[in-house]
């Protein structure tokens, strides 16, 4: 198996675990639809110190991932600007800095991390899970490719398909 396939399986597994408590219905069709939605909305990044999964937040993905009163605040925020739900696990002890930037065409878009669990600056031990939101200060053009970069490196180019965007926003 290639790294990309392994990451895809890992992303799907983590999404199913994250999604399980947020499901309001036990209808298997809804679960299958939500799984496909989250799969299309997610891209993964593996660094030397952690594995990150980034899920684009739209009204539909927020409903699939979150429950309770915070869901509405997260949805409102995601409607105002581009927001990613970030979750992952540390592969080694690291002094973590959730400072990411998005590059799209000639634009460089700063981000603001929002801590949910261990998604803040400071030491993180190997095996620690983290969750948070990554809020962009500008809207991302979802129809154009973009690069994610942190303080150490620039990662591969990502682009959502038209079908994925339609599924997430439709």
Give pLDDT tens digits for 62-92.
999 999 888 999 999 999 999 999 999 999 9
Q: What is the pLDDT of residue 111?
A: 95
Q: Is-above-0.85 flag for pTM?
A: no
Mean pLDDT of 108-135: 96
| 2, pLDDT greater than 90 | no
Q: What is the pLDDT of residue 36?
A: 92
Q: What is the pLDDT of residue 170?
A: 65
Q: What is the pLDDT of residue 56?
A: 97
Question: 86 with 137: CB under 8 angstroms?
Answer: no
Token pair recorded at residue 13: 């597994």
Q: What is the pLDDT of residue 32?
A: 63
User: What average pLDDT does the chain have?
Assistant: 83
Question: 23 with 35: CB under 8 angstroms?
Answer: no
Instruction: Quote the percentage of the chain above a pLDDT of 70.
Output: 81
The closest of 94, 89, 108 to 44, measured between CA atoms, is: 89
Mean pLDDT of 115-130: 96
CA-CA distance, 81 to 87, in Å (whole number)?
19
Using pLDDT thresholds of 50, 70 and 90, give the confidence band for residue 16.
Answer: very low
| 23, pLDDT greater than 50 | no
Using pLDDT thresholds of 50, 70 and 90, give the confidence band for residue 20.
Answer: very low
């Amino acid at each position: 198996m290639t790294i990309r396939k392994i990451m895809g399986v890992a992303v799907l597994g983590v999404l199913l675990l994250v999604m399980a408590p947020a499901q309001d219905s036990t209808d298997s069709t809804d679960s299958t639809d939500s799984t496909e939605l989250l799969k299309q909305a997610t891209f993964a990044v593996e660094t030397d110190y952690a594995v990150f999964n980034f899920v684009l937040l739209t009204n539909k993905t927020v409903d699939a991932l979150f429950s309770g009163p915070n869901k509405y605040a997260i949805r409102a925020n995601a409607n105002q600007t581009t927001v990613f739900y970030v979750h992952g696990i540390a592969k080694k002890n690291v002094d973590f800095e959730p400072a990411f930037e998005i590059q799209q065409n000639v634009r460089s878009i700063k981000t603001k991390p929002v801590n949910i669990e261990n998604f803040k600056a400071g030491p993180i031990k190997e095996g620690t899970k983290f969750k948070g939101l990554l809020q962009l200060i500008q809207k991302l053009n979802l129809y154009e490719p973009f690069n994610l970069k942190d303080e150490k490196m620039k990662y591969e180019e990502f682009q959502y398909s038209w079908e994925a965007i339609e599924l997430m926003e439709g």
